[in-house]
């Protein structure tokens, strides 16, 4: 059981980082919770699917898993940076459907593959998925609200920092996937 909780923590760290970057944008409290719950739902459903689909999906996706997730993060970061640079309202990024579907789905593909491994090892399907999903939801919410707290303390355009954070995270994910 403790191995599942540690795995949930590790798989949820990207949600913490993305949540903090999105939290730098002007987002209502209600929207922050909606984003956190969307991340949690994806992070719960994907291991379930992975455990049910088996090993073939992991073989099919292979090295493109990290590339896809990293590309989505980079695009989100660049969008926020460009909008901020041109002094446009960056809250559109967090208010649109992309934050509720695009980012959570792209970041939960690793959970899909983790589910494949957990299923192959015979771990309990429902308990494992719920534990991973709960951990991811909590970490995303922590990031979203911590990012909002940081926004209040940063001078100037905090959304630039958030966009740069997403961009740096995408590059680090790509560099880390080669090692």
Read off the pLDDT band of 69 (50, 70, 90).
low
Mean pLDDT, the chain, rounded, equals 76
Is residue 54 domain-resident? yes
Is residue 30 domain-resident? yes
Read off the pLDDT band of 179 (50, 70, 90).
very low
pLDDT at 161 over 50: yes
- The torsion region of residue 38 among left (phi > 0), alpha (psi -120 to 50) and beta comes to alpha
Instruction: State how many domains the chain has.
Output: 1
Tell me if 90 sits within 8 A of 25, measured CB to CB: yes
pLDDT, mean of residues 140-145: 89
**Torsion angles phi and psi, residue 6, rounded to 5:** -65, -45
d(CA 38, CA 162): 19
Is residue 53 domain-resident? yes
Q: Mind listing the pLDDT tens digit for each residue in 70-113? A: 666 577 667 667 766 766 655 566 666 767 777 788 778 777 77
pTM of whole model > 0.85? no
Determine the structural domain holding residue 148 and report its residue range. 2-174
Considering the chain, what percentage of its residues have pLDDT values greater than 90?
6
Is residue 63 domain-resident? yes
Is residue 179 domain-resident? no
Is residue 85 domain-resident? yes
């Amino acid at each position: 059981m403790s191995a599942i909780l540690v795995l949930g923590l590790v798989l949820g760290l990207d949600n913490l980082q993305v949540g903090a970057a999105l939290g730098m944008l002007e987002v209502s409290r209600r929207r922050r919770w909606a984003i956190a719950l969307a991340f949690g739902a994806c992070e719960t459903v994907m291991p379930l699917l992975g455990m049910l689909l088996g090993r073939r999906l992991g073989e099919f996706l292979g090295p493109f898993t990290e590339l896809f997730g990293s590309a989505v993060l980079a695009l989100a970061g660049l969008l926020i940076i460009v909008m901020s640079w041109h002094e446009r309202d960056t809250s559109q990024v967090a208010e649109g459907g992309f934050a509720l579907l695009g980012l959570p789905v792209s970041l939960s593909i690793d959970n899909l593959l983790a589910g494949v491994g957990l299923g192959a090892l015979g771990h309990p399907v429902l308990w494992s998925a719920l534990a991973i999903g709960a951990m991811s939801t909590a970490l995303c919410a922590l990031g979203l609200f911590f990012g909002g707290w940081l926004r209040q303390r940063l001078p100037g355009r905090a959304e630039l920092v958030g966009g740069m954070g997403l961009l740096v995270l995408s590059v680090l994910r790509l560099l880390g996937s080669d090692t």
